[in-house]
Structure formats: structure tokens, C-alpha cells
Chain A
Amino acid sequence: MISASALTLTREGKVIIRDFNVEIHPGRALAVIGANGSGKSTLISALVGDLRPTRGSITLNDRNLNEFSFRELAQIRSVSSQQQRFSLAYRVEEVLKMSISYSGDLESIARAVEALQIADLLKRSVISLSGGEQQRVSIAMALAQKSSYIFLDEPFSAQDIESTQRITNVLQEFVQEGKAVVVVAHMSLKELSWCDQRFQLGES
């Protein structure tokens, strides 16, 4: 379980999140909803270990998140960022292999590719893809990592209805398998109605 208690997060001296408490349990889905600038991405940065809290603590299975190595964290949680940057002309299959640098589990890539139906993209250069296709590759990378906690920042922002449904189905399957899914969105989407818990940021 990931547990954040009395969490205060600041960026450049400005308090973004104050006294926030949340528990992320395996087998459950959590939606974090809030307008632009409400601190969603800052909160996610802290929960995945990128940003240290100014006050309060974040623990993963009762161990402080700061105590985990990069490698240990990669085996436990995976992240699909809002705007994943692809700058070099790797083929999509090469990028997906990067996400399993430690596990080397090609089967998990095959599963993610099949679930998101991106097989036709595998041989293409990742920088030639559309924004929506790149987003699906980023989500596939997070899924292929075979972690117990999956964080997705705005996974539907560049997707059409069909792709959104497909991604939702995959995430629901992961929850049924006992994994935790955390989805961040800027508005309350009906696609998130299945989530067990919903947080609205920017409101008291």
C-alpha cells in the first residue's frame, strides 16, 4: 500500500498541496481530478517518488519512499507521463524494450501491445507518430513494466472514444488482477466512473 499522510508539496516556495492524505491500495483504482494548475501533476510527482514532500510522508508498504532505489521503485510502480517526450527516431518496439530494461520480460510487452492494439506501430519511428499514438506507446511502456502500481497522467487527453474505451478496459483488467491504478484527469470523465475512489483537487 502507498500511503501519504499530512502531505504538503511546494514548488519554488509556493505551496501547491497542503495537508493531503491518501491511501492507494492494491486491487483498487483511484481517480485524481482537478482543473489545470490544481496540483495534480505535482501530487503524482510526489506519489511516484520524483518530488520530495516539504512536510508529511509517503510510505510504500510502510517504508519511506525516499529509501527505495531507482531500480526498486521501477519494479514496484510505473508511470505514464502527461507529455512523454520522444526526441530520437527509435522504432516503437525499441522504446518498449527500454521500459523492461531490468525485467527483460518480452511477454509483458506483447501483452501491452495486444491490449492497446498498437502492433501496427511497432516498426514505425516513434517521433513520426501522432500525439495520440505516442500517448498509447507511453501507456504501453507503463503496462509492460509489470509493476503493482500504475500511475497515468491524463491518459485520455489525446484519445478518441474507441481508444479511450480500450485503455479503460485494460486498466480495469489490471485492477481485477490485484494491481493499483491511479488516473489523473483534468475533468470528471464518465470513463472514470468505475474508479473506486475519486479525489477532486482544488476544492476544500
Chain B
Amino acid sequence: MKRALIYVYILIFAAAIVLSLSVGAAHLDHLWHVFFHPTSNLFTSDHDILWQIRIPRILTALFVGAALGAAGVMAQGACNNPLAEPAILGTSAGAALGVVTGLLFNVAAIGSVSAVVFGLLGGLSVSLFTFSMARSRDGQSSIALIIVGIAASATVSAIVGLTTSMISRADARSVSFWTWGSLALTSAHDLWILAPISILGIAFAWWAAPNLDLLSLGDSTAAHIGIDPVRARRLSLIALSVLVAAAVSTVGTIAFLGLAAPHIARLGFGPRHRPLVLHSALSGSIILLLADTAARTIASPRELPIGLITAIIGAPILIVLVRRNLEVWKQS
């Protein structure tokens, strides 16, 4: 059953890539020729559009989607809460604030290593703040976590919005970029930073994941079985922040994906966190690639904010799947 599902996933993944290669603002008459002959000098216009614009953008969507999908697993696992996601915990807003701060002081540029570092510091700070504020004597309160997270996220997002509105610098991007995200300005250059950090972050998440299985039994039981719940949670938050920083510093804030991808993957493949990291990364890649393809073609040549599309694609899928299988995550 699961093996068959993996094949279906891979098939959808491949179909999404083919679709995304085939459509765009410009129609490429010789698409497959230039695709299979990357060094050919024929059809230079088609060649440049495919290899310098479309393929880097597809790869960016795949890496960002994978990073956010895996980040969602870390967020939900670390909080032991099905509602947790980078945007709700404040990780995304914190990362955005970190990057904008770096831009303001001219020590970081979008898509650079320094932007990722600033994003990591910002994301980790706000996530830890949310966690510490929601902590009570008996551990983490699910409701408190979500309320504090939404409040922290709203506050930090407002600061990012106000800052970018007031300084009006092109390199600091727009309020829309930090609210809904965009892949419109990505280039092949961004991949040199995004790809290795996403892969590193996913590998880190994969390594940290088994302890999240134990954390799902509650902090006391995890401790009785032999893991330090605080350390396990801290490692997951670091993995989460690295992944979110890689995504946010390249394409801005894309909400909802980190929530939807783990749920979709969990419904198909079960709750064990180590395989879930990979399945959720794959789900995130597929959703974001389809969303970006829609964002750049629906109102072509205008670009639509990708966050709106991820919500429109992801939310109904999530509702249908959860309605069909409500007994996947039981809240006590």
C-alpha cells in the first residue's frame, strides 16, 4: 500500500515538473530540444528562457517546498501539536525580521549566506520566545502555544511590514513579499545558497526526527524512556529555524505549506517522524511547484503572490484528507 503510494507520489512529482517546464509567460517552441541539448547553440532565446529562468525557478520551488515541508514536521513534532507550523510559531516572521535587519544595516542581501544566518537568528529567537512564554509547570500548553505564537507572529510581521514600508528600498523587497512570498525574483545564483542549506537542514531534521516519536508520548514518558525532552525539542527547533531561514531569506514568507505538507504526508505514510521528514519534504516540493507554476501562468505576464496559491491548493486537499481520517492526531 505504502509502496504503491510512493510510486504515485513520484509520478505526481514528475508530472508537476513536466507541467512546470512546459508552461510560462513565453511559449517555447523548441522546449524539449533545448532541454535535452543544454550546450546547443540553436534556439538561443528558448535556451536562455529555459536554462536561465524556468529551470532555476523550478529548482528553487522544489528546494523551498522541501525545506518548508520538513520544517513543518519539526514544528509539529517539537510542539507535539498538530496546529504548529513555522508561520504560527513565529519562526517565519522572526526569520523575515532577521533578514530585513541584515538588509537595513547593509550586512546581508536576499539569497546570501549572511541573509540565512540573520534569518536563522531571527527565527530561532522568536520560536524560543513563543516556547518559553507558552510553557507552564506541566509542560507545553497547546492552546497557550498557538495563542502566544499567533500574537508573536503578528507583532513581528507588523514590524517587518512597517520597516519595509517606511524605508522603501527595492532590495528590502515589499510587504507582499514578506507576507505572501514570491519566486519571481529568484535566479540560478540563489540556488548556490538555498540548495546546500536546505539539504543540510533536511539531513539534520532526519537525524533529529526519531526523538520526536518519543516526545509525542509526552515529556515525562520520553524522559522515562531515556531521552532529554528539552534537548530533543531544542535540536528540532534549530533544524526548523535553519530550514525556515533558508526558505524565507530566498523567497519571503510562504504560510500554510509547513502546516499542510506534514498532515498530507502523515495521512498517506503514517506518523513515524524519520520517514515523515522525507515524505513531507516531497509533498511540500510538489505543492509549491504546482503553486508557483499557477502563480506565474494564471494571470500571465503578471505574477500572483504564491502564498495565496499555496493556500488555495493546499487547504482543500488538507480538509478532504483530514475529514476522511480524523483519527490521525488525537488531542488530549
Q: Residue-by-residue, is A88-108 near B (CB-CB < 8 Å gives 1, otherwise 0)? A: 111000110011011000000
Interface pair B137/A88, CB less than 8 Å apart: no
**Residues of chain A with a CB closer than 8 A to B216's CB:** 86-88, 90
A115 to chain B, nearest CB (A): 19
Q: Which of A146-172 contact B (CB under 8 A)?
A: none
**Residues of chain A with a CB closer than 8 A to B272's CB:** 90, 94
Interface pair A89/B329, CB less than 8 Å apart: yes
Is residue A120 contacting chain B, with contact meaning CB distance below 8 A?
A: no
**Residues of chain A with a CB closer than 8 A to B228's CB:** 70
B313 to chain A, nearest CB (A): 25
How far is it, in angstroms, between the C-alpha of A101 and the C-alpha of B274 when the chains are bound? 14
How far is it, in angstroms, between the C-alpha of A12 and the C-alpha of B328 when the chains are bound? 35
Interface pair B225/A88, CB less than 8 Å apart: no
Identify the stretch in A1-9, A18-26, A58-66, A77-85 within 8 Å (CB) of chain B at 4 or more residues: A77-85
Q: Which of B22-80 contact A (CB under 8 A)?
A: 80
- Option from B137, B226, B227, B329 in Cβ contact (under 8 Å) with A87: B329
Is residue B214 contacting chain A, with contact meaning CB distance below 8 A?
A: yes
Contact A87:B332 (CB < 8 A) given known A11-B137, A70-B226, A99-B225: yes
Interface pair B271/A50, CB less than 8 Å apart: no
How far is it, in angstroms, between the C-alpha of A71 and the C-alpha of B231 when the chains are bound? 13
* Interface size range of chain A in the complex: 20 to 34
How far is it, in angstroms, between the C-alpha of A145 and the C-alpha of B271 when the chains are bound? 23
Interface pair B271/A79, CB less than 8 Å apart: no
**Residues of chain A with a CB closer than 8 A to B271's CB:** 88-90
- Option from A50, A84, A145 in Cβ contact (under 8 Å) with B223: A50
Which 6 residue pairs across A and B have the least CB separation, nearest first? A74-B226, A88-B271, A79-B224, A127-B330, A71-B226, A85-B332
List 9 interface pairs A-B (beta carbons < 8 Å), by A numbering: A70-B223, A81-B220, A89-B330, A90-B216, A90-B272, A101-B210, A102-B226, A125-B327, A127-B330
Give me the interface of A with B, judged by CB distance under 8 Å. Answer: 11-12, 45, 48-50, 70-71, 73-75, 77-79, 81, 83-90, 94-95, 98-99, 101-102, 125, 127-128, 141, 145
Give me the interface of B with A, judged by CB distance under 8 Å. Answer: 80, 137, 210, 213-214, 216-218, 220-221, 223-228, 270-272, 327-332
